[in-house]
Amino acid sequence: MASCAKHCVAYLFILVVLSVPAASVYTLTDQGGLGARFDGVGGLSGGGATSRLLVSYPEPYRSQVLDYLFKPNFGAALQILKVEIGGDAQSTDGSEPSHMHSADDQNYTRGYEWWLMREAKKRNPSIKLYGLPWAFPGWVGGGEPYPNPELTAEYVTRWILGAKRVHGLTVDYVGIWNEKEYDVTYIKTLRKTLDDNHLSHVMIVAADGDWLRISEDVMADPELAKVVDIIGAHYPGTNSIPMARQTGKPLWASEDYSTFNDPKGASCWARILNQNYVNGHMTSTIAWNLVASYYDNLPYPRDGLMTANQPWSGHYEVSDPIWATAHTTHFTSPGWQYLKGVGHLDGGGSYVALADGKGNLTIVIEAMSHQYSKCVRPLLPPYSVAPMQIVNFQLGGAFEKITHLYVWFSKFVGNSTARFERRGPPIKVTGGHFSVEVKENCLYTLTTIQKVRNPPTNYPDSPASAPFPLPYKDNFDGPANSSEARYFSDQTGVFELFVNESSPDHVGTMRQVITERPIFWCKKGPADSPISVVGDHNWTDVTVSCDVLVEQQGGAFVAARVDRGGCVIKDALGFFLWVFADDTWALSYDLALKNIVKGGKLNATVVGQWHRLDLYSKGDIVKGSANGQVLFEMKTGPLPIKKGFAAIGSLDFKHVQFDNFVVDKKT
């Protein structure tokens, strides 16, 4: 790691350099009281299926990733973990299972969010937990979750109770419905239901969208104002609105960042962690997403604080946003308070200061340029940052007693980069005064906290990156680290490991379990055909094989070269080999079955019988067979379907089982 001594050094600086104009003096004092309570920096798992591959990592690499995210004074040292309350539907990069597929079903071990929350708490017992639904199972309401507010409130409350009863997890915050219209009656009903179940400690964050409507409603409705504890907005661009501040509620950027985790992404994150408070008075910022643990060719690749999407190799990448986070989280805790005298620097950039009320002080300074700190959203208005500026501080009140401050700094872009390095000796403070040289695109923490960085500060490099292994086989017999088969990423529907007691040859299977159309979060509404993808999006010449069982109705498929996932999965193209309950088969070039190119009668009964499907593709040749009998072999002609995932799935939301899955390279 290169030193940035010539570019970012923050030392005691006596202002005698004639070429640098005199600067303002920034006063930091507790006289007159402190500012708002600091509520913490967080990461978001979900919205959706963003941590899907992490649970499949081998040890010790899985634990190493978790340490970088949650272990205090190590990596990001996150203070809040926000997770999706799974709703059986696509919610950006996949669908997450609900704890209640139906009204008479409860299961608090499905998926991986429970496991993730336990691991976070294991490393940091003080971390706060926050749950939010993106989608809901269909039985909750007719297309939206509010026809019966009591029913929906009970559904969400059971998730919180299950977290405590089954996993010993205390949920601290709960939201309403991610980025969707909310119902005021439902919010009030949720508060009552929580209180009736001895969950008065759970705080309600509303409404995980924009500022305006919830602020208007809280101002106009005293009863609503009593039950909304925090106003949370998404991607606020570091700004809130006057009405939100007038509510007197804590304001959060309850989802932010969503930017590729390269050095520019880290600079974006550093800037908004400071300026969300400086400009918008937001006391918590939560990054979407926690860790990019989903396939690169799904939406928003590598938009996590770090990347861990190769469990087959153990490879992961500790990305720069981890270290940008550390500048705040290693030297503060929720419950600290911001000082009132924070703001922008004359030469560009910003500073915040936080205190614990016991004499400790932490100052975070960022000077990120417009060019190198743009987030994906929203548009960043132009501004300028001086190449170098002298920043003078005057400490007052209890802070006048401070004699020195320890310095940590980072520079993520340009030459002489550095990542969360300690620079010594400490800055001397004389009579409460000190000066700092601040360079463009640098991030500094000045603190009274003497932090010993025990070597080795981080783990050795993870194993080398490697392509998805072929041949790949899964007989779904376990053991499993979650309810889902390793490496499969459900894009519509929910595919769970299942014990089939009626078939000795297929005891362990994977089953599509959703039988009612869920309440979707995606605007277009994903496909009516559940699908789970696996492997490498760049696969071209492969054979995909699987045993399938259509239990009663619908159909089943295997697929190759599936070209997309996410909320646009309904438009997916590829080669799809289907068998249907009416004993027919088909080859389609799309999931929606709008482009069927081959079909016929199967010489077997489909419903209730296991069938082996094989789909071969090489160049412009595609061949399909059922139970060893060739159904077709053909040239596709010119097609846009050049490469893609392997997949399995069902027709409509019906029970279908899968076993003995194989994908292999063909030459």
Contact present, 363 and 447 (Cβ < 8 Å): yes
Residue type at 425? P
Token pair listed for 99: 């704890």
SS3 515: coil
179 is catalytic: yes
Q: How would you list the strands of the sheet with 645-650, edge to edge?
A: 489-492, 531-534, 645-650, 555-562, 573-580, 584-590, 596-601
Does the annotation mark 255 as catalytic?
A: yes
* Side-chain half-sphere CA neighbours of 415 within 13 A: 3
- Give the active site residue among 96, 113, 119, 255: 255
Q: Which of 594, 581, 597, 602 is nearest to 527 (CA)?
A: 594
Query: How far is Cα 547 from Cα 626, in angstroms, rounded to an integer?
Result: 9
Phi and psi torsions of 246, nearest 5°:
-70, -20
Cα–Cα dist 30/262, whole Å: 37
Alpha-carbon span 448 to 105, nearest angstrom:
52
Catalytic residue among 144, 179, 400, 551: 179
The DSSP string of 601-632 is E-SS--BTSEEEEEEEEETTEEEEEETTEEEE
3-class SS at 130? strand
Q: Which run of H or of E encompasses 62?
A: helix 61-70
CA angle centred on 2, ends 293 and 383, rounded to 5°: 75
Q: Helices marked H in 71-178 — which ranges?
A: 113-123, 149-167
Active site positions, annotated: 179, 255
